[in-house]
Structure 1
Amino acid sequence: MKMWDGRFQESTDALVEEFNASIGFDYKLAKYDIQGSMAHAKMLAKCGIITEEDSKEIIKGLEEILTEVEAGEFEFTVELEDIHMNIEKRLTDKIGPVGGKLHTARSRNDQVALDVRLYLRDQIEQIKELVKQLQQVLLDLAEENIDIIMPGYTHLQRAQPIRLAHHLLAYQQKLGRDYDRLVDCYKRVNILPLGSGALAGTKFPIDRDFVAKELGFAGVSQNSLDAVSDRDFVIEFLAASSTIMMHLSRFSEELIIWTSSEFNFVEISDSFCTGSSIMPQKKNPDIPELIRGKTGRVYGNLIQLLVTMKGLPLAYNKDMQEDKEGLFDTVDTVKKSLEIFARMMAKTKFKADKMKASTEGGFVNATDVADYLVDKNIPFREAHEIVGKSVFYCIENNKKLSELTMEEWQNFSEVFSDDIYHAIAIETCVDARNTIGGPAREEIERVIKQERNLLAID
């Protein structure tokens, strides 16, 4: 017997039972559903809607059900549709008709909104911690490898020399913004929807502030229609998660490139790679490739919910049952990706000689020649042209800028003197850029210290 079938004359079609049910995935909300129900039962007694004895009996029954769930002994059934009705049915089986009083002054509409918010609060906190752990790994790597100099790239072409630490810290900064987005998202998750009923609240004298305090919410929703129809907080989380995955995917792409024989900048630990079934020599960067691939599924979950919500009238519609699978999948994907990426990076080795050698080609110090000329009072646009001609000359004569003789330098401009060789030495080029946010050693050390302090405060 269904808990809602008083108005129905025909039994539910078996295929409809299967198609309509959400218990195949919303079982993950079990402990949150029980947590919310306990707070609701306490409030019902406090407000005199049910007796204190009934409330205690309900809570005791819910505690026993939670034990069953955590022990893997709870039997979920499709016939009962969702997590709410599975738990309520089990409660009434355990304690009798008193269990039916629990649903007083609430609907599954505000109940599920509560469950998802409780779930997402926990998951955001866990993901924040994983983001911080990866940030810490990158700070450690930056400090350990602070003396490695490499080319910085634009358009995947060698551009200017930087420190590897500077490159690693770029992702550490991106992760910092990811962390901030999660913090901000949490504020909008942390609002209690329970008490909104199906859409129009309830006539019972409930105390929503009491429930909010019991469950640790910062406030209560101010419009019952909005509270049960809102999934903005899920969309916002999915968007923040998509940005996290985008950052991991960009980093993964670089690792994939850097491990290639053509670059040979990086050695990823064997424990994070696989081989080939046919080519014995192969060592494939599968983990970065998988993270790059899984980014697409997280994007898809965001787009799916945006498309689902875009045409829904107020308030609740069954379409909104489709909010959970993508959310659960995103949470699992982001958590696993962050954890495995941090572990992989901690064991990754960077090839200092290869990276440094790559700065010797591609004229990565050409901008420094232009800066040198500007220091000699030559307008930058004129300096740019002079250096462009000198680079073309080097290409034609198979030379590096550092290999030009003074006579050759002065063919391009009479202002060149012997100090040009020091000015365009790779270490000089890097450490001369000591403005805030630059790649100079002194600035890298400052940023590492600053970011460690910020992580400690968080």
Structure 2
Amino acid sequence: MSQPDPPGSETDEPLWGGRFDTAPASEAVALSRSLSIDVRLAPQDVESSVAHARALEDAGLLGPGEAAALGKALREVGEEIAAGRFAFHPADEDVHSAVERGVTERLGDVGAKLHAGRSRNDLVVTDLRLWLLAAGRRIDAGTVRLIRALVGSARDHAGAVMPGTTHGRAAQPVTLGHHLLAHAWALLRDLERLDQWAARASVSALGAGALATSTLGLDPETTAARLGLDRAFANSIDAVSDRDFVQEFVAHAAILGTHQSRLAADLLRWTDESLGWASIDDAYATGSSMMPQKRNPD
């Protein structure tokens, strides 16, 4: 991916404008520039923008073929960003302004229509919801595979007796299958939490505008459906101002990470040579530069 350029000259035009008589200070431009971080939202920004173009078409705000042209240009920009061929400009504050500029350069005045009825406020939060929902689906799929592996191994070792421990000391006999299923149950709860979070997070903010919608007659519910989201926002101010869905995602991810860490700690302990209950495949071990007998679980 081509790297974004540093802040440029006073001739660079930001996405916002209006009442300002002078260009912003270069230090302020550099401080507010987030392109190096939010460029990862490019696929979602293209998806949101295509849906918004169709909303503009539905509202009679685009001429014949203009929505299709916008969609084509948006996908081209997205493909160029993904391939590292897109030329970022100094005036690109973030991925959202970069995508919009790329479309406008291709289509001129038609490209500029893409900003009608839309603020970066409702666009950013919609992109972020889409990005997190996609991440949640990947985590969900990986967790399902891990649970299935644990259940399969538990079934294979249902009668294998091992010492259950408390405080790191042998306490009561249990089976290996029972111990493995303890991890599986914890991960199942993680899946439930992720699914419940996704149901709450599956909301489109497009149409909320900066904070109080617009007068253009856009249909947020249809836009939400086109994005594969469950519903549109209920309150426009809440839609653009809150990021509780991010905090909740991070909290659930932290709990999941703790459960994965507990499983990893057990596996590492079982591979200790003093126990010898399990071994690490050579593909996942490293050696020592001094001690040839070492098989380190790095």
Pair in the same fold by TM > 0.5: yes
Q: Find the counterpart in structure 2 of residue 63 from structure 1.
A: 75
CA distance in 1, matches of 2:227, 2:159: 50
Q: 2:87 matched to 1:75?
A: yes
2:228 counterpart residue number: 216
Matched, 1:111 2:123: yes
- Of residues 224, 230, 243 in structure 2, which corresponds to 1:231? 243
Is 1:146 the counterpart of 2:158? The answer is yes
Give the deviation of 1:17 after TM superposition. 2.9
Asked if the contact 2:66/2:110 (under 8 Å) is kept, the reply is: yes
1:279 maps to 2:278: no
Alpha carbons of structure 1 residues 207 and 138: separation in structure 2 relative to 1, 3 Å? same
Does structure 2 retain, via aligned residues, the 8 Å contact 1:23–1:76?
A: no
TM-score (norm 1): 0.60
Q: Give the 5 Å matches for 1:408-419.
A: none
> Which one is further off, 165-174 or 266-275?
266-275
Letter aligned with residue 200 of structure 1: A
Q: 1:255 aligns with which of 260, 267, 287?
A: 267
CA distance in 2, matches of 1:24, 1:78: 12
Provide the C-alpha distance between the structure 2 equivalents of 1:214 and 1:88, rounded to a whole number of angstroms.
Answer: 20
The CA deviation at 1:9 is: 3.3
Partner of 1:125: 137
> Helix, strand or coil for the counterpart of 1:2?
coil
TM (norm. structure 2) is 0.91
**Residues 57-456 of structure 1: matches in 2 within 5 Å?**
57-286=69-298
Contact 2:122 / 2:207 at 8 angstroms: preserved in 1? yes
Residues in 2 aligned to 1:172 and 1:201: alpha-carbon distance in whole angstroms: 45
Q: Does the 8 A contact of 1:18 with 1:78 survive in 2?
A: no
TM-superposed deviation, 1:156: 1.4
Return the structure number with greater helix share. Answer: 1
Unaligned ranges ≥5, structure 1: 287-458
Give the match's secondary structure for 1:79: coil
How far does the alpha carbon of each residue in 1:79-134 deviate from its partner, in whole angstroms, 9 at most, with x for none?
31101100111111101121111111110010000101111221211111100100
Per-residue deviation, residues 169-214 of structure 1 (Å, max 9, x unmatched): 1111111111111111100110111111111111221111110121
What is the CA-CA distance between 1:278 and the residue it aligns to?
Answer: 2.7
Distance 1:244 1:69 in 2: 32
User: Taking every aligned residue pair, what percent have the same amino acid on both sides?
Assistant: 39
C-alpha displacement of 1:52: 3.5
Alpha-carbon separation, structure 2, partners of 1:75 and 1:243: 40
The alignment status of 1:53 with 2:62, answered yes or no, reads: no
SS in 1 for 2:172: strand
SS of aligned partner of 2:192: helix
How far apart in 1 are the matches of 2:87 and 2:192?
40
Matched residues, number: 286
Q: Measure how far apart 1:78 and its partner are.
A: 4.9
Q: Secondary structure at the match of 1:227?
A: helix
